[in-house]
Amino acid sequence: MLVAYILVATCITILLGFPIAGALGLIAGVIMIATSGTDLLLIFIQRTYAATTSFPLLAIPFFILAGNLMNVGGTTERIFEVAKLLVGRVRGGLAYVNVIGSMIFAGMSGSAVADAAGLGVIEIRAMVKEGYKAKFAATISAVSATIGPIIPPSIPFVIYGSLANVSVGALFLAGIIPGLLMGIGLMIAIGLQAKKLNLPVSQGVKFGSEAWNTVLKAIPALALPPAILIAIFSGVVTPTEAAVLATAYAFVLGQFVYRELTWQALIDTVWESGRQTAQVLFIISMSAPFGWVLIQQQVPNQILQALMKLSADPIMILLIINLVLLFLGMFLETIAIMIITYPILAPVIGAIGIDPIHFGVIMVVNMMIGLVTPPVGLCLFVVSGIAKVPIAEIVSELAPYLFAMVVVLGLVTYIPGFSMWLPQLFGFGLIK
């Protein structure tokens, strides 16, 4: 019964408008006092402090800053132009460009919101200019942005790695193939819609020397994703150090190569990145005592027993977990869901033999779908503001793309090789 009280109280508190971090901390503090008096508040303080002192978490502010610097420094526009060269000539070409641009940018920022807010501005403006409906352009920009945290680097993978105590590098490798599958799935959905919606054929595709010049200008930006991955997986740098290098590289590109990063823009970007980092770390710090309370009250064990009573079949248990995560994604913020549910689900996945790296990919794909499901899909709000289109109109276009994303989630869930092949190839120790 206590399990239900904790989970219901948490959801209600968040839905009533409490900040997510405040809701987690409040529930944890109240339960500690109610069960053991004020003595446990010392543990509250200790857990809060310890949660933010993990070295891998240093990657978060730097990946956030790197993504923001690329958005204001001209990098995103070069990425879009190169993607346009690749597929801009076919019917619905700019919709494909939108997805491919997001797949490239995913290897730089690790943030779906950074993708939607940065590339989204360029993509939506270009698509509307070519004759696409604003609501369609906004929809494609929102769903393609979800690829960002699946293809490495990835802020959610950094957070999950800290929660699950697994290698962030292994998680990065595990996300590559699922991220590519997500892009392919969205492009198949676009292709099926292209004739039905009579999507435009791009008239602004460059040819010859002009196209070559576009590629040359983009090479410094395109070099960053492979450089990050090679540096990490060759052992030269850790993911955290790679985030620092990505930030420095983004600054050099914007300031000295593309010369679009002004000093005032730099100051504003650093300030905004600091604000975003504080939000994320505050949630993480408050989640630590909340997670301790869940374990102390044996909530994970009770959840495990309840699921095992429903079914002992791993296939059914994974289906139930996916349905729960997709439902929570409709109402709660990504990081909050991950932090709230992982301590509960960790013994469940252990009991049915799911590798924590594989489950990390399942969880992140679920969270990304949540970013484009109403009523609280953050990417929907971002692109709605950019395109000046009501969210209801964007939601009306979502169905085929959400279906494609759910199909990819099913493939990733039930075919572990999509997630596990690359980590195994690089020799990461995995459970049998």
pLDDT of 87 over the 80 cut: no
Of the listed ranges 15-24, 66-75, 277-286, the least confidently predicted one is 15-24
pLDDT of 282 over the 50 cut: yes
User: Tens digit of pLDDT for each residue in 43-77?
Assistant: 888 888 877 777 777 777 888 788 788 878 888 77
pLDDT of 86 over the 50 cut: yes
Identify the pLDDT of residue 430: 54
Structure token digits, residue 59: 């990657």
The 10 Å Cβ neighbour count of residue 234 is: 8
Identify the pLDDT of residue 270: 92
Identify the pLDDT of residue 432: 45
- On whether the CB atoms of residues 97 and 84 are closer than 8 A, the answer is yes
Of 11-20, 101-110, 112-121, 221-230, give the range with the top mean pLDDT.
221-230
Structure token digits, residue 186: 């969205």
Identify the pLDDT of residue 64: 79
User: Tens digit of pLDDT for each residue in 290-303?
Assistant: 777 877 776 666 76
Quickly list DSSP for 235-298. TSS-HHHHHHHHHHHHHHIIIIIS----HHHHHHHHHHHHHHHHHHHHHHHHHHHHHHHHHHTT
The one-character DSSP state at 312 is -
Assign 304 a pLDDT band (cuts: 50, 70, 90). Answer: low
Report how far apart, in Å, the C-alpha atoms of 377 and of each of 261, 275, 368, 395 are.
30, 20, 9, 10
pLDDT of 10 over the 90 cut: no
Identify the pLDDT of residue 208: 66
Tell me how far apart the alpha carbons of residues 34 and 36 are, in angstroms, rounded to a whole number: 6
Tell me how far apart the alpha carbons of residues 290 and 224 are, in angstroms, rounded to a whole number: 38
The one-character DSSP state at 427 is T
Quickly list DSSP for 170-204. HHHHHHHHHHHHHHHHHHHHHHHHHHHTTPPBPS-
Cα dihedral across residues 160, 161, 163, 166: positive or negative: positive
Assign 121 a pLDDT band (cuts: 50, 70, 90). Answer: confident
Average the pLDDT over 264-268 and give the result: 92
> Which pTM was predicted?
0.82
Q: Indicate the SS3 state at residue 201.
A: strand
Identify the pLDDT of residue 300: 62
Assign 207 a pLDDT band (cuts: 50, 70, 90). Answer: low
pLDDT of 254 over the 80 cut: yes
Mean pLDDT for the chain overall = 83
Of the listed ranges 108-112, 284-288, 340-344, the least confidently predicted one is 108-112
